[in-house]
Amino acid sequence: MRMIGKAGKAAAIAAIAALALTACGRSETGTTGGGTAGGEAFPKDSSIGVALPQKTSENWVLAEKLFNDGLKEAGFKPDVQFANAGVSEQQNQISAMITKGAKVLIVGAIDGAQLGTQLKQAKDNGVTIIAYDRLLLNTNDVDYYVAYDNFKVGELQGKALLEGMQKKKPQGPYNIELFAGSPDDANAKVFFDGAMSVLKPKIDDGTLKVLSGQTSFEQAVTQAWKSENAQRRADTLLSGSYGSAALDGVLSPNDLLARAILTSVKAAGKPTPVITGQDSEVESVKSIMAGEQYSTINKDTRKLVEHAITMVKDIQAGKKPEINDDKSYNNKVKTVPAYLLEPVIVTKENVKTAYVDDPVLGPITK
Amino acid sequence: MNALKKLFGGNTRQFGMIFALVALIIFFQFATDGRTLTPGNVINLFNGNSYILILAIGMVLVIIAGHIDLSVGSVAAFVGVTVALAIRDWGIPWYAGILLGLGLGVLIGAWQGFWTAYVGIPAFIVTLAGMLLFRGFNQFVGKSNTIPVPGDFQYIGSGYLPEVGPNTGFNNLTLLLGLLGVAFVVFSELRARRTAKALGAEVPEAWVAVTKLVLICGAILYATYLFATGRPGTSFPIPGLILAVLVLVYGFISSKTVVGRHVYAVGGNRHAAELSGVQSKKVNFLVMMNMSVLAGLAGMIFVGRSTASGPFDGVGWELDAIAAVFIGGAAVTGGVGTVIGSIVGGLVMAVLNNGLQLLGVGADLTQIIKGLVLLIAVAFDVYNKSQGKRSIIGMLTQNFNRPSGGTPLQPDEVTSTKETIAREA
Amino acid sequence: MTSINTQSEPVILEMRSITKEFPGVKALADVNLRVKAGEIHAICGENGAGKSTLMKVLSGVYPYGTYTGDVVYQSQVQQFKDIRASEHAGIVIIHQELALIPELSITENIFLGNEPVKRGVIDWAEARTRTRELLARVGLREDPDTPIKEIGVGKQQLVEIAKALNKSVKLLILDEPTAALNESDSQHLLDLILGLKGRGITSIIISHKLNEIEQIADSITIIRDGKSIETLDVKADGVDEDRIIKGMVGRTLESRFPHHEPKIGDVLFEVKNWTVGHPQVQDRLVCKGSSFFVRRGEIVGFAGLMGAGRTELARSVFGRSYGRYITGSIYKDGKELHLKNVKQAIDAGLGYVTEDRKSLGLNLLDDIKTTTVSAALNKISRHFVVDSNKEFTVAEQYRKSLRTKTPSVEEGVAKLSGGNQQKVVLAKWMFTDPDLLILDEPTRGIDVGAKYEIYGIIQQLANQGRGVIVISSELPELLGLSDRIYTIFEGAITGVLNKDEASQESLMKLMTSARKAAA
């Protein structure tokens, strides 16, 4: 009964039975390999793999639809997958895309440093790899990077925070708290650094005060970009450092976290601080119009997807895709040629004009 | 059908799972236009699931002994990050890293084993605490960062058997391994026949043995062919090799050794085992410790495959491993289960996952399907037990029997009826 | 022999030509049962004869349609589709394994699934009052709020009957009601059943204890191999135990014990001043300074009421597997042994066959061969690797020599009857080659034929020069088997009698001596 021998044999027998039935359908693959990156054309109806992270924000769901529609329209076979179960699932999905014969992989990584093996496998199979929104780290096997300029995003957030607080109260000092994104997302640090490039000098000269003293990235992180984690930290900060003091502003890396922090502030019975955001989520845009959240960033997913697809088309045609930055994005192994899109800051003042073209946000902001 | 039964050694339950696995493979092979059984995909299948299957080996022993371990994902992540840091910051070589990881697994296992076996806290609680504890340690030690590991350490998670010897158009080592496997199977079958004859037990007819050997060896050779003819640079993967060794070792331990017997005895009836001289505390301690060591190994393999350790490594692995074990026929109440069954259960999930990905089915739908498969597999088993039947195969074969005329009832059913009556009287 | 002659008496139940088949096995073939209103009707038969199957047909566990034949109850053909339906008609079955929930109180158990409701809320006051009445009827003086786990098995049995009375039972079926009870609890229960009869409640009782049946039953139906053999009228036919056994096994057993000439040698095993504390309760002693010895080739009986501390004594001697050791020493062949765990005890040549076969003695998931070798794995393994060929050979040997009824040693032990299970357990301990074997209730729940065989095995073990201790609640068994009998009362040894000076009366006196002294 517990004889591994018997059962093992049975397993093998069963397997051969399957193989015998299917052997004729097996296509010879393997030893072809070799297409070099970024140059050669491939058939126009090829499969294009798009590996996206967890389905956690509206933008990723929108991106899925846009990729499917856009790639289909251009004649490709799109293969778009979310990895809800985490890094290991994304690894397996990328392997499967390669097996299915994808010619280009667009990767929105969960953790940009944990896909090395699969990317190498892709490269060995002659696949061109585009890092989408999040840079792929520690690997030689990435050809292009397409994203919004994330350092710029941070800068804009920092500036908006200062500006918003000055409008409310012309003179400092201002009490602020800092929140950053998830440490396993390479962009989180870039956002934070961008914002700090504006805020740090002001903290140093005393205009800004962080009463909790938590000013480093490690202290400010929000695991997994989860709103409950941000909310919990905000609760702690408020009860710990703002019993009597006023909280003037909060640097929040995105809309989801901004709303969580606002919830916490309300629960603590404090007046709404100036708070930044990013991603232009519907709820946050409404919140801006209602005068609660101060700002968000418009990184139109449409434009980003559009450019990613343009890159695929160029690669297919054998052209070198357009890039506008070949210096700034070093992934610790190589400098990745990048195409960066300009983010736009949105506050109550420009909210009506910013989303004019947007089919979802347009009607809301009218 | 009796012949089929002889072929499979009469264990209908395990046969059911293997049958399901084969059916799945066949289904996906057609549905994906032959992309399932390609060298590349089979290699992916092993690489992408080896760490879960390794966890399932440890988990089945834990479950047989009547416990559960919820902490394996966190332990794997903690060991992974510690080893990655040690290699990066202390500059220790890769093999020292592996030893460190296994040693850490021993320590963690001793901690969990101590609370479970000697203090008597249910393993569910101990390992629930461990799940939080070691996840916290992982993020504390790694500062929630991604920590890369060097190329030679990556070998255990993403390496292949090297090319040696003359150019035969195949990977020579893989070929050798396959032939060794065939030799082993033939040898052990012949030996089993000889001893059965000597003991005066029933010896199956020669044609049964021959058919069996042809089928098994054919399967091994075909797998060898797939692995040996992949893209240059690939061959039988190292994680697959580690897994194969572990399956053999643990299969042997669980079925053939005194320790293995004791694990089943403790899980089946702890009091009876104790009154037969089994030191159940020691057994529980060992089983829990072993699980953490294997979790550490799985964590290191994953880090090797991912080229880096991350703060969310291992999230949800415990559930994958537990699912594999239960699909593979283990009982929640302990005492029942096999290593090979759990591997088959894990492979069912893996093939399902892989096939659905090849078909481009979304992750959300995949999860729904996997959840249903787990439920149905176990429900089916429970239903059959309550009906006094052993498995679906028993029902299928009834219809086989009738037309071929006059074959009496299956021994399984007769005995299970006897059982019913014995219970009543 | 003579069937019921008084056709005029009202019949409450008649089962006509009941046939119940399982795939491949005919469990009941054309069984007839006729129960008169207000009588106590016993059903006798060996294990596996079909008694319980018949009761399951009657109570609707096997619903109408899954058997052939008619169940006529109160002059109507019944078509019970489940237990609820039969209970509704006033038929209540009390199983051997009690169906009470240990954590709940007596009241809660009695009204479980049947709670008195007032305006949507359970009326506990009402329930408690009714419980008090019911408990009085069964002669149980307990607070209705006492949790079930705090009262003994005997009282639990009474609670079950109270629960049945609450369902206005007309026909009460008791499956082995006294199997787990000691003598006085058994007697109380039997009296209660007689009392119920006085109030017009009909009972069907299934029991292996033929003396009890002889004592209370009015009629006896004997079932053998799924067929109803005969129905006896106890008074009219002058039925005694031997007559019932003859019906059950189909032949007369000349003697219930095999003939045995003891060959008694030197003192093999001696325990001195053995004192053990209760595992949980501080200050409570379960063994009080007991001393005893066993000689080679001797079968030594231990008599005592349930809870007297017999099992506790045996288990604490067997590698301290029970209780807290306080004082005492163990000698084997004159040398002192220091046994700290079961493994050491086994290594020192001790064996212990547990009283509770299913929960302490067997892993019911195992097969026969695994069980046979499980206490002596070192004898069939080298370098910790089990030799499965030797395992098979050993198990096969014992199967033949003990005549275990099974198609193969690879069969699961759960599928065996009680007697054959016990043989496998005996094989397991015989394979450890013990010098001293302690048997705790070795024949509980085993039918007459198998008992005889097990007695033979025990005598054989003694003849090989081993010492054997037999603990039993059945005095005739001890008297028939033992060369010497110790009596235990409340944890202390109160006497020892040689075979020729022991009788049921003299033993009983010693088994209850301290109580009398106290009173």
Q: Where are the domains of chain C?
A: 1-90+170-254, 98-168, 263-349+434-519, 359-432
C128 sits in the region (left: phi over 0; alpha: psi -120 to 50; else beta) called: alpha
| Rounded CA separation A26/B29 (Å) | 8
Overall residue count recorded for chain A in this entry:
366
Region of poorest pLDDT, from A183-192, B46-55, B278-287, C12-21: A183-192
β-partners of residue C325 are C276
The model's pLDDT over B116-137, given as tens digits with 9 standing for 90+, comes to 999 999 999 999 999 999 998 9
Q: Which of A17-21, A315-319, B413-417, C507-511 has the highest mean pLDDT?
A: A315-319
Which residues on chain B are in Cβ contact (under 8 Å) with C381? 257-258
Provide mean pLDDT across the span C466-479.
89
Provide mean pLDDT across the span B192-217.
80
Mean residue pLDDT across chain B: 83
| Record: contact B264-A2, CB cut-off 8 A | yes
**Topology agreement, domain C1-90+170-254 and domain C263-349+434-519:** yes
| Residue of chain A minimizing CA distance to B228 | A30
Residue ranges of C 407-466 with Cβ closer than 8 A to chain B: 407, 411-412, 414-417, 428
Q: C47: pLDDT confidence band, cut at 50, 70 and 90?
A: low
Predicted local confidence at residue A9, as pLDDT: 53
Sign of the dihedral through C-alpha B247, B248, B249, B255: positive
Predicted local confidence at residue B78, as pLDDT: 96
Provide mean pLDDT across the span B313-342.
90
| Record: contact C386-B256, CB cut-off 8 A | yes
CB of B261 within 8 Å of any CB in chain C? Answer: yes
Predicted local confidence at residue C103, as pLDDT: 86
| Record: contact A113-B310, CB cut-off 8 A | yes
Predicted local confidence at residue B15, as pLDDT: 67
Provide mean pLDDT across the span C495-504.
88
Distance of CA A166 to the CA centre of its chain: 31
Share above pLDDT 90 across residues of chain A, in percent, rounded to a whole number: 53
| Residue of chain B minimizing CA distance to C55 | B424
Dihedral, CA atoms, C233, C234, C239, C245, nearest 10 degrees?
A: 80
Predicted local confidence at residue A34, as pLDDT: 39
Predicted local confidence at residue B387, as pLDDT: 54
| Record: contact C366-B424, CB cut-off 8 A | no
Predicted local confidence at residue C417, as pLDDT: 78
Nearest-neighbour CA in chain C from B321: distance (Å): 24
Q: Which of C278, C313, C305, C316 is nearest to C489 (CA)?
A: C305
pLDDT at residue C518 above 70?
no
Neighbours of chain B (3+ CB pairs under 8 A): A, C
Q: Which class is domain C1-90+170-254?
A: alpha beta
Token pair belonging to C183: 């003598």
| Record: contact A138-B19, CB cut-off 8 A | no
* DSSP run (H or E) holding B374: helix B363-386
Give B209 or C370, the one with higher predicted confidence.
C370
Interface probe with B: pick from A55, A61, A81, A114, most Cβ of B within 10 Å: A114
CATH topology of domain C263-349+434-519: Rossmann fold (3.40.50)
Provide mean pLDDT across the span B359-372.
84
pLDDT at residue B95 above 50?
yes
pLDDT at residue A24 above 50?
no
| Record: contact B265-C366, CB cut-off 8 A | yes
> Using CB atoms, which residue from B26, B231, B316 is nearest to A33?
B231
Predicted local confidence at residue C252, as pLDDT: 57
Predicted local confidence at residue B414, as pLDDT: 31
Predicted local confidence at residue C149, as pLDDT: 82
Nearest-neighbour CA in chain A from B119: distance (Å): 31
pLDDT at residue C161 above 70?
yes
Three-state secondary structure readout of C243-302 = HHHHHHHCCCCCCCCCCCCCCCCCEEEEEEEEEEECCCCCCCEEEEEEEEEEECCCEEEE
| Record: contact B274-C386, CB cut-off 8 A | no
CB of C303 within 8 Å of any CB in chain B? Answer: no
Give A18 or C374, the one with higher predicted confidence.
C374
Interface probe with B: pick from A3, A19, A125, most Cβ of B within 10 Å: A19
> Using CB atoms, which residue from B199, B258, B335 is nearest to C392?
B199
Instruction: List C-alpha distances in Å: B26 to A23, B20, C88, C324.
Output: 10, 10, 54, 61
Nearest-neighbour CA in chain A from B56: distance (Å): 15
| Rounded CA separation C517/C512 (Å) | 9
Q: Name residue, tokens 């517990």.
A: A2
pLDDT at residue B308 above 80?
yes
Token pair belonging to C261: 């000439």
CB of B417 within 8 Å of any CB in chain C? Answer: yes
| Residue of chain A minimizing CA distance to B344 | A11
Region of poorest pLDDT, from B100-104, C56-60, C174-178: C174-178
CB of C279 within 8 Å of any CB in chain B? Answer: no
Region of poorest pLDDT, from A27-41, A174-188, B20-34: A27-41
Share above pLDDT 70 across residues of chain B, in percent, rounded to a whole number: 86
Give B97 or C410, the one with higher predicted confidence.
B97
Angle between helices B151-158 and A116-124 (to 10 degrees): 80
Predicted local confidence at residue A162, as pLDDT: 94
> Using CB atoms, which residue from B279, B336, B421 is nearest to C53?
B421
Neighbours of chain C (3+ CB pairs under 8 A): B
The model's pLDDT over B393-413, given as tens digits with 9 standing for 90+, comes to 333 333 333 333 333 333 333
Nearest-neighbour CA in chain A from B248: distance (Å): 8
Provide mean pLDDT across the span C410-436.
88
| Residue of chain A minimizing CA distance to B40 | A99
Provide mean pLDDT across the span A116-132.
92
| Record: contact C416-B277, CB cut-off 8 A | no
Cβ pair B227, B171 in contact under 8 A = yes
Nearest-neighbour CA in chain B from C490: distance (Å): 24
Which residues on chain A are in Cβ contact (under 8 Å) with B14? 7, 10
Cβ pair A346, A280 in contact under 8 A = yes
| Record: contact A117-B360, CB cut-off 8 A | no
The model's pLDDT over B205-253, given as tens digits with 9 standing for 90+, comes to 788 788 878 888 888 898 898 888 888 778 899 999 999 999 999 999 9
| Rounded CA separation C497/C487 (Å) | 8
CB of B199 within 8 Å of any CB in chain C? Answer: yes
Which residues on chain B are in Cβ contact (under 8 Å) with A180? none
Q: Which of B33-37, B55-59, C19-23, C314-318 has the highest mean pLDDT?
A: B55-59
Residue ranges of C 368-397 with Cβ closer than 8 A to chain B: 370, 374-375, 377-378, 381, 384-386, 388-389, 392-393
Which residues on chain C are in Cβ contact (under 8 Å) with B417? 22-25
| Record: contact B277-C49, CB cut-off 8 A | no
- With a CB cutoff of 8 Å and minimum separation 6, the contacts of B180 are none
The torsion angles phi and psi of A158, rounded to 5 degrees, stand at -60, -45
Mean residue pLDDT across chain C: 85
Predicted local confidence at residue A2, as pLDDT: 42
| pTM over cut 0.90 | no
> Using CB atoms, which residue from B18, B38, B251 is nearest to A29?
B38
Provide mean pLDDT across the span C52-68.
88
Give B3 or C386, the one with higher predicted confidence.
C386
Region of poorest pLDDT, from B355-364, B404-413, C30-39, C79-88: B404-413
| Record: contact A81-B315, CB cut-off 8 A | no
Q: Which of C92, C88, C105, C30 is nearest to C59 (CA)?
A: C92
Which residues on chain A are in Cβ contact (under 8 Å) with B38? 26-27, 29-30, 99
The model's pLDDT over A202-219, given as tens digits with 9 standing for 90+, comes to 999 999 999 998 999 988
3-state secondary structure of B167: coil
Q: How many CB pairs under 8 A join B and C?
A: 128
Classify each residue of B114-124 as buried b or exposed e, where b means 16 or more C-beta atoms within 10 Å of its C-beta.
Answer: ebbbeeeeebe
| Rounded CA separation B319/C511 (Å) | 57
Provide mean pLDDT across the span C269-286.
87
Give C96 or A39, the one with higher predicted confidence.
C96
Nearest-neighbour CA in chain C from B361: distance (Å): 41
Expressed in angstroms, the distance from the first to the final Cα of chain A is: 72
Predicted local confidence at residue A13, as pLDDT: 53
Provide mean pLDDT across the span C275-284.
83
Predicted local confidence at residue B258, as pLDDT: 92
| Record: contact C49-B335, CB cut-off 8 A | no
| Residue of chain C minimizing CA distance to B10 | C410
Share above pLDDT 90 across residues of chain C, in percent, rounded to a whole number: 29
Predicted local confidence at residue B102, as pLDDT: 97
Q: B48: pLDDT confidence band, cut at 50, 70 and 90?
A: confident
